Structure 1
Amino acid sequence: MSHDTTGHGLRYPANPGHAAVRGTGSVALLCALAAEHGFRTQEALEGTGIPASALGDPGAEITAVQEARLIGTLAARLPETAALQAGARYRLTTYGIWGFALLSSRTIRESHEIGMRFLDLSYALTRISAQEFRDELALFFDDLDLPGPVRRFALLRDTSAALQIWRETLGRGVVPRRVALTLPPPTDPAPYEAAFGLLPEFGAPRSVVSFDAELLDQPLPHAAPLTAAACEAQCRDVLDRRHSRSGTSGRVRDVLLREPWRMPGQDEVAAALHLSVRTLRRHLAHEGTSYRAVLEQTREHLAEELLLTAGLSVEQVAERLGYSEASSFVQAFRRWKGLSPGRWAQAARAGAAR
C-alpha cells in the first residue's frame, strides 16, 4: 500500500499503539515548531481533523493517528533534524499529570517505573520498553507500522524527548551511556551529536538510549512523595476514563468483557452489535481506532485490574484473558508496559502504599 506522507488522506494500518487517546499538548508544540519554519497552524493541521481551537483547550483529546498525520506533514516539509529540535522542547509540564508524577518521584528509578506504568499518557509514537542490566538501563524504541518519514521523525522525537525527561527530572545535564538508531548515517552527524551529547551509532538493528544504572537510585531535587502519590492516582483515573471510551469502541469493549477468557472475534462482535464487519471497521476507524486496538487495550486494562485488585497470579490472569500460555501473556504485558507483570504489580502496590 502506498502512503501519502504529506498527511492528506494518510491511512495507517491497525496498530494498538496508534489508537491511544491523548491530549493536545504535543500537537501544540509541533505546530509552534512548524510556525518557526514558516507554516501557519491551519496549514500544519490540514488533513488531521484537529481544529485549531483544540490546541488551547486543556480538556481536548485527539488520537495518536491524528498526531501522526500532523507529523507526516512536518516530515515532508521540514529537515529531519527538526525532529531533534522538537524532542528537546518536550518539558515535563508538556505531559500534564504524567510529567508531574515523574518530577515529584523520590528517585529516577521510581520516576522511571511510574513513567513506564502509565506510558499511554505520554505522546510517544514508538513502542517504548526498558531493560535493566548490571550497569545500565536501556530504553528501547521500536518502530510501529508507520510510513517511513513519519517513523523517522517519531523515532528522533521520542528518543530526544526521553533524554530531555531524564535531564529535567534530575535537574542537570545528562549524557547517555549509549545511543543507537536504526536510521542510516546522515550526511552531517553534528546535529545528532549535539542533541544527544554523543555521536549515535547509526544503522543499528534496534534503537536504544541507555543510561548508567548508578543514576537510578539518586534522589531527585523536586521529590514530594505525597504529590507523587496523588499524581499517580490521577494518572490512573485518566487512563480509566480513556480506556472506557464511549461510542463504538466502548460498545466493542462491553462485548469483549462479557467473556474475557475467550475474547470473541471481530465477526462475532459485529454480529452482537448488529453491524456488518465492514461497518464496524468504518465506525472504529472514524474514532481513530480498530478492533485489534480495542482488544489489546481491553486486555491490558483487565490485566491491571486482575493483578492489583484481584491479586491473581500471572498464570491465573493469563488463563482469564484467554492466553494459552502464561509466557504469551508475559510477552504481551511487556509490550504494553515495558515491565513484566510481576514487576509492574510490585511497583504499582508500592506506589499505592506511598
Structure 2
Amino acid sequence: MELTNVMLSQSQMSSKTVPRQLWDFRRGMATARVLCQLGLDHGLGLDEVLRHSGLGQAQTEDPRGQLEALQEIQLIRNLVNLLPQRSTLGIEAGCRYHVTTYGLWGYAVMASPTLGMGISMASRMLNQTFSLTTNEVEQVGDQIMVTYHSDHLPTDVRQFIMDRDRAAVVTLQREILGRPLAYRAILMRRPEPEPEVIEAYTQLFGVRPLFNQAQDRSLFAAALMHEPLPQADPHTAALCEQMCKRLVDERGARTGVAAQVRDRLMRTPGHIPDMEEISAEMGMTSRTLRRHLTAEGASFRSLLEEVRSTLAEELMTRATLTHSEIAERLGYADVTTFIEAFRRWRGVPPSEFRKAQGVVRPGAGGPMRRRFIPR
C-alpha cells in the first residue's frame, strides 16, 4: 500500500514518552561492525570501542548475531568519549549504513516499486533497522514531513545518534533512488554549530539546515513518494545480488548454464525476468536455453521456483514483509498465486509456516507507531 497520508496511532505522542519497544529492540550485529570500524579508522583499538558493552570480537563477527539497544548506545558512548574532537562523527557513521548493511530488509526496501511504498514498509518495520531515534511521517499539503524524536536517549550521545540516524536515512534514500533526494528544508533543534559542521550537514542534505527549531524535521515534495525506484546504483544492486546469491547457494550449488540463469534471476530486485528475456541476454533462443538446461538436469521453472522459495522464506522470517509485499517483490501477479506456490513448496500456507517459525505476521501484533491511510 502506497503512503499518501499518515496519521499517528497515538495522538501527537510526545517523544519523551516513546514506548521502549519502539527503539529498545534487539538489532543485527552489522551495526556494531560499522561502529567498530569507524573507531578503528580513527586510530582506536577494538577493545576501546567495545569497552563496557559486554561484546567481544567473536560476537561482533557473527553474521546472525544480535545486540541490545543499550549495548549499541555504549559503543556510541565510547566513540564520543574517545573522539571528542570529531564533531561530525555521527554524520560519518550514518553514511556507512548502506542498503546491504540491513540484509534482506535492505533488499526488500530496494525492491519496492515506489519511494512511498519503500518508506511505508521501512516505517512499519523500524525494528529491522538500527535506528535509536523514532520518527513520524505525515503529508502536509504537497510535502512530506518527517519528524525525528530523540528525547528518550541519554543526553551524552543524543546528538551523535540523531546525526547518525538522519545520515543513514539519507544514504538509504540515495542508494534506492540512484540519486540524492531533493529536500525542501532541514530543521534542527540544536543551536547553530561551527562552520565546518554546517558545511558537513549542507553536503549531506543538499540544503543548509535551519537551527534552533522546535523539532528535528526533514521536508520534501510529496510527489516524490510516487516516483518509481530504479534500483539505479550498480554497486548497491550488485551487493544485493551477491547477498541473495549466497542465500540460494546455501540450498544447493549450481554450475554451467543453470548457474548463469539462476544468478540472473536474482540480479534485479523487484523485477524477475522471464525466460525469453534471459535467453536474449545470453545470445540464444529460448529453445536453445531450454535444451542446455535439460542437458544439465534443470529447467527454467525449477530454477525460478528455487530462487523464489528461498527469498520468500527469508523475506518472511528476516524482513517480515506481508504476503502481498513478498508476492510483489517476487514477480507474482497477485498474492493468491504466491500463497498457492508457497503451499506447493512447503506443504503449508505462508501463515502456518510463519507461525511454526515463531514469526508474528506484520500488523498482527506489537505496537504500531503509525498507520497508513490511502487517499
The corresponding residue for 1:286 is none
Judged with a 3 Å threshold, the aligned counterparts in structure 2 of structure 1 residues 71 and 219 are, in CA distance, closer, same or farther, namely: same
Structure 2 residue aligned with 1:238, among 293, 314, 318? 318
The corresponding residue for 1:5 is none
Judged with a 3 Å threshold, the aligned counterparts in structure 2 of structure 1 residues 72 and 111 are, in CA distance, closer, same or farther, namely: same
Unaligned runs of 5+ in 2: 1-17, 232-268, 273-306, 321-359
- Return the offset for 1:232: 7.9
The corresponding residue for 1:216 is 225
Are 1:205 and 2:214 an aligned pair?
Answer: yes
The corresponding residue for 1:177 is 184
Contact 1:136–1:210 (Cα < 8 Å) also in 2: yes
Judged with a 3 Å threshold, the aligned counterparts in structure 2 of structure 1 residues 120 and 225 are, in CA distance, closer, same or farther, namely: farther
Judged with a 3 Å threshold, the aligned counterparts in structure 2 of structure 1 residues 58 and 190 are, in CA distance, closer, same or farther, namely: same
Unaligned runs of 5+ in 1: 1-12, 241-300, 307-332, 347-354
Contact 2:23–2:131 (Cα < 8 Å) also in 1: no
Structure 2-normalised TM-score? Answer: 0.59
RMSD, matched Cα? 2.9
Structure 2 residue aligned with 1:120, among 124, 127, 131? 127
Structure 1 residue aligned with 2:370, among 325, 331, 339? 339
- Return the offset for 1:206: 1.1
Tell me the amino acid that sits aligned with residue 339 of structure 1: R
The corresponding residue for 1:22 is 27
Structure 2 residue aligned with 1:100, among 94, 104, 107? 107
Give the distance between the partners of 1:177 and 1:207, measured in 2 at CA: 14
Are 1:152 and 2:211 an aligned pair?
Answer: no
- Return the offset for 1:90: 1.0
Structure 1 residue aligned with 2:48, among 43, 49, 52? 43
Deviations 1:68-89 (A, max 9, x none): 1111111223223011111111
Matched residue of 1:215: which SS? helix
Judged with a 3 Å threshold, the aligned counterparts in structure 2 of structure 1 residues 191 and 178 are, in CA distance, closer, same or farther, namely: same
Deviations 1:191-240 (A, max 9, x none): 22122211111121111122221211111113516799986864552378
Give the distance between the partners of 1:19 and 1:231, measured in 2 at CA: 28
- Return the offset for 1:146: 2.0
Task: Give the 5 Å matches for 1:250-261.
Answer: none
Judged with a 3 Å threshold, the aligned counterparts in structure 2 of structure 1 residues 137 and 233 are, in CA distance, closer, same or farther, namely: farther
Are 1:64 and 2:69 an aligned pair?
Answer: yes
- Return the offset for 1:144: 4.3
The corresponding residue for 2:201 is 192
Contact 2:23–2:133 (Cα < 8 Å) also in 1: no
What is the identity percentage for the equivalent residue pairs of Structure 1 and Structure 2? 27
Matched residue of 1:304: which SS? coil
Judged with a 3 Å threshold, the aligned counterparts in structure 2 of structure 1 residues 103 and 23 are, in CA distance, closer, same or farther, namely: same
Structure 2 residue aligned with 1:140, among 141, 147, 150? 147
Give the distance between the partners of 1:191 and 1:43, measured in 2 at CA: 27
Which is further off, 15-24 or 117-126?
A: 15-24
Judged with a 3 Å threshold, the aligned counterparts in structure 2 of structure 1 residues 86 and 303 are, in CA distance, closer, same or farther, namely: closer
Contact 2:105–2:319 (Cα < 8 Å) also in 1: no
Judged with a 3 Å threshold, the aligned counterparts in structure 2 of structure 1 residues 181 and 337 are, in CA distance, closer, same or farther, namely: farther
Tell me the amino acid that sits aligned with residue 71 of structure 1: I
Deviations 1:241-287 (A, max 9, x none): xxxxxxxxxxxxxxxxxxxxxxxxxxxxxxxxxxxxxxxxxxxxxxx
Task: Give structure 1 regions of 4+ aligned residues with deviation exceeding 6 angstroms.
Answer: 226-233
Contact 1:183–1:202 (Cα < 8 Å) also in 2: yes
Structure 1-normalised TM-score? Answer: 0.63
Tell me the amino acid that sits aligned with residue 317 of structure 2: D
Are 1:76 and 2:85 an aligned pair?
Answer: no
Matched residue of 1:305: which SS? coil
Contact 1:100–1:231 (Cα < 8 Å) also in 2: no
Tell me the amino acid that sits aligned with residue 41 of structure 1: L
Judged with a 3 Å threshold, the aligned counterparts in structure 2 of structure 1 residues 131 and 122 are, in CA distance, closer, same or farther, namely: same
Contact 2:24–2:132 (Cα < 8 Å) also in 1: no
Contact 1:18–1:63 (Cα < 8 Å) also in 2: no
